[in-house]
């Protein structure tokens, strides 16, 4: 038996405009500029540059919805050129160029570097070796198997199989091993190693033989596990050497490069410049916030498209084709108007959010001392500006602010609160900074374990458990005490 029920339910759905606005807010300056260009290319009714405000106001005040679709279709083609309504081809360059940037924001052309890639450099070196055609093909395949850090992280058998299935080259493990010796002669030293131990041994092999080098080679080849765990007493006993001899050998190992390919690829990567979305300056002891001018383009609705709408509105007779054209024009004008409004809302949201953060962290921005950073969560700022927490998150997540103390990622100003021995809320950033300083000043011959670090911070007024110290140490990428020990 079927029954019908009436069920009322409240649900919240975001409109397409709201979704687009959230995406605009999330974009940093450079991505926002790209999005702006895309919108202008898609919508010829949207223009940038200096135009009189009356053009925008004219569209905002006009009611383009009051034309009557029921009117007769009697209209002469020569009176209204339909192509003028639909023409969105061959948009002049001036309509897609922005001229609202200041001198500081102007784009400057830079010569583009065309460096030789890491793998191409290895191939060039390989060409200096005498190899037959089959050997060269295998050697080049091995070079292609080297990752950006300089390692071949695959087994010999896997390489043999891949050569057979992908290249049609049939070989054996012994041939691969022999050609690996050729690869190991390439620069930088250590390239083509299959693990860290082999990488260090290859680099030691290329050094001038000395007593410390000989001991370092023995340590890496015979007692690599004890060395990585810094069991120095075991090494002294194993090789029957003095503390000073071991220290010299370890110093030689520490000078080696564990990522032989990293230095090469790092030097050839294109440097990505961070464009600050905001700037904070101190003027007469007061903080001044500015939004990057590239986030505030001068946009307006195309006058030509408005005139098309006005022409249609003033015409007495309208054809079906012209009605279709005016629907297209109206859609583009509405889209342009909405986009302009969205940009204004984006500017306002960015500014009020960063302004609230600036005043919340005023002590830090005036002094630059990280220990003066207050605990601050998204809700604190959301309550100050009356916006949703998700909106604050979008602003903070990918935006940068230029300060007198360097360019900072905004989300770095947010941190949880912990209480000190006075019962006051302090930022976890402050505690991490103090922990970092304590570890930096410790005796590296006897580094402090986590329980001692907890006692020291407790003496400084921060009662923190040992497990919390371990958590913060890991977040700071600081190893355990034993791994911080030096000879």
148 and 95 together in one domain: no
Structural domain includes residue 2: no
473 and 366 together in one domain: no
Structural domain includes residue 289: no
201 and 92 together in one domain: no
Cβ neighbour number for residue 449 with a 10 Å cutoff: 15
Distance CA 87, CA 484 (A): 70
Q: Name residues whose C-beta falls within 8 Å of residue 254's C-beta, 6 or more positions apart in sequence.
A: none
215 and 312 together in one domain: no
310 and 188 together in one domain: no
259 and 124 together in one domain: yes
Q: Name residues whose C-beta falls within 8 Å of residue 199's C-beta, 6 or more positions apart in sequence.
A: 150, 151, 190, 193, 256, 258, 260
Of residues 405, 348, 406, 416, the one with CA closest to residue 380 = 416
pLDDT in the model for residue 63? 45
What does the pLDDT profile of the chain (487 residues) look like in tens digits? 566 666 665 555 556 677 777 888 888 888 888 888 888 888 888 887 654 443 444 444 444 444 343 333 333 333 334 343 333 444 444 443 444 444 444 444 445 455 678 888 899 998 888 889 899 999 999 999 999 889 999 899 999 998 888 888 888 999 999 999 999 999 989 999 999 999 999 999 999 899 999 999 999 999 999 998 888 889 999 999 999 999 999 999 999 999 888 766 554 544 457 789 999 999 988 999 999 988 888 887 777 777 777 776 666 666 676 677 777 878 888 888 888 888 899 999 999 999 999 999 998 899 888 777 888 888 889 999 998 888 899 888 889 999 998 898 898 888 877 777 777 767 777 788 888 888 988 888 888 888 889 888 888 888 888 888 888 888 888 888 887 887 6
Q: How many CA atoms lie within 13 A of 105 on its CB side?
A: 19
Kindly give the residue spans of alpha helices, DSSP state H, lying in 211-302.
211-222, 224-228, 232-239, 243-254, 262-268
Distance CA 166, CA 162 (A): 6
pTM passes above 0.75: no
Distance CA 400, CA 407 (A): 7
For the chain, count helices (H), then strands (E): 23, 8
Structural domain includes residue 385: yes
What string of DSSP letters covers 380-438? HHHHHHT--HHHHHHHHHS-EEEETTEEEEGGGG-B-EEE-TTS-EEEHHHHHHHHHHH
Beta-strand pair 400-403/406-409? antiparallel
Burial class (CB in 10 A: 0-12, 13-18, 19+), 49: middle
397 and 437 together in one domain: no
Instruction: Name the strand (E) or helix (H) holding 288.
Output: strand 286-291
122 and 204 together in one domain: yes
- Calculate the dihedral angle through the C-alpha atoms of 151, 152, 155, 156, rounding to the nearest 10 degrees: -130
Q: Name residues whose C-beta falls within 8 Å of residue 408's C-beta, 6 or more positions apart in sequence.
A: 400, 401
260 and 123 together in one domain: yes
Structural domain includes residue 281: no
Longest dimension (CA), the chain: 108
Distance CA 452, CA 445 (A): 15
| Cβ 158 vs Cβ 118: under 8 Å | no
CA angle in degrees (0–180, nearest 5) for 204-207-210: 95
CA angle in degrees (0–180, nearest 5) for 41-46-49: 100
pLDDT in the model for residue 356? 93
- Domain final residue, candidates 379, 414, 449: 414
Structural domain includes residue 462: yes
Structural domain includes residue 11: no
HEC assignment per residue over 330-376 = HHHHHHHHHHHHHHHHHHHHHHHHHHHHHHHCHHHHHHCCHHHCCCE
Structurally, the chain folds into a number of domains equal to: 3
Distance CA 139, CA 160 (A): 12
Helix pair angle (196-205, 243-254), 10° resolution: 100
446 and 369 together in one domain: no
pLDDT in the model for residue 210? 93
- Domain final residue, candidates 366, 397, 414: 414
Domain holding 371, by residue range, is: 16-60+81-100+296-414
pLDDT in the model for residue 434? 87
Distance CA 469, CA 438 (A): 12
Lookup result for tokens 């003028």:
84
pLDDT in the model for residue 77? 32
342 and 399 together in one domain: yes
pLDDT in the model for residue 109? 46
Distance CA 447, CA 456 (A): 13
| Cβ 347 vs Cβ 293: under 8 Å | no
127 and 145 together in one domain: yes
- Domain final residue, candidates 414, 443, 469: 414
Structural domain includes residue 251: yes
CATH of the domain at 439: 1.10.10.60
Structural domain includes residue 290: no
Distance CA 52, CA 50 (A): 7
């Amino acid at each position: 038996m079927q029954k019908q029920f009436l069920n009322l339910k409240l649900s919240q759905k975001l409109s397409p405009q709201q979704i687009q606005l959230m995406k605009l807010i999330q974009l940093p300056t450079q991505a926002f500029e790209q999005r702006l260009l895309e919108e202008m290319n898609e919508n010829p009714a949207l223009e940038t540059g200096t135009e009189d405000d009356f053009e925008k106001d004219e569209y905002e005040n006009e009611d383009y919805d009051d034309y009557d679709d029921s009117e007769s279709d009697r209209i002469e083609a020569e009176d209204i050129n339909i192509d003028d309504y639909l023409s969105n081809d061959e948009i002049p360059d001036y309509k897609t160029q922005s001229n609202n940037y200041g001198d500081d924001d102007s784009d400057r052309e830079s010569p583009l570097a065309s460096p030789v890639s890491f793998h191409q450099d290895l191939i060039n070196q390989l060409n200096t070796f005498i190899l037959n055609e089959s050997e060269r093909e295998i050697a080049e395949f091995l070079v292609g198997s080297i990752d950006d850090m300089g390692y071949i992280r695959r087994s010999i058998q896997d390489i043999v199989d891949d050569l057979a299935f992908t290249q049609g080259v049939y070989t054996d493990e012994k041939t691969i091993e022999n050609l690996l010796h050729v690869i190991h002669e390439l620069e930088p030293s250590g390239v083509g190693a299959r693990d860290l131990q082999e990488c260090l041994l290859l680099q030691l092999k290329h050094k001038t033989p000395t007593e410390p080098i000989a001991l370092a080679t023995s340590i890496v080849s015979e007692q690599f596990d004890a060395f990585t765990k810094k069991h120095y007493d075991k090494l002294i006993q194993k090789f029957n050497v003095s503390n000073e001899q071991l220290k010299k050998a370890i110093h030689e190992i520490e000078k080696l490069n564990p990522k032989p390919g990293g230095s090469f690829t790092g030097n050839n990567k294109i440097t990505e410049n961070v464009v600050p979305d905001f700037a904070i300056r101190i003027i007469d002891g007061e903080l001044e916030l500015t939004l990057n001018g590239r986030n505030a383009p001068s946009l307006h609705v195309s006058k030509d498209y408005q005139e098309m709408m006005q022409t249609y509105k003033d015409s007495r007779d309208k054809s079906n084709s012209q009605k279709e054209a005016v629907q297209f024009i109206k859609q583009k004008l509405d889209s342009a108007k909405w986009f302009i409004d969205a940009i204004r809302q984006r500017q306002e949201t960015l500014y009020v959010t960063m302004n609230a953060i600036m005043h919340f962290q005023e002590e830090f921005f005036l002094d630059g001392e990280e220990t003066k950073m207050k605990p601050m969560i998204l809700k604190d700022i959301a309550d100050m500006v009356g916006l949703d927490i998700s909106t604050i998150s979008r602003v903070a997540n990918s935006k940068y602010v230029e300060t007198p103390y360097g360019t900072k990622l905004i989300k770095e100003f947010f941190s949880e609160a912990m209480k000190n021995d006075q019962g006051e809320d302090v930022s976890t950033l402050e505690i991490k900074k103090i922990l970092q300083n304590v570890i930096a000043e410790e005796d590296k011959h006897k580094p402090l374990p986590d329980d001692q670090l907890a006692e020291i911070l407790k003496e400084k007024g921060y009662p923190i458990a040992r497990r919390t110290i371990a958590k913060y140490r890991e977040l700071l990428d600081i190893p355990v005490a034993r791994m911080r020990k030096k000879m």
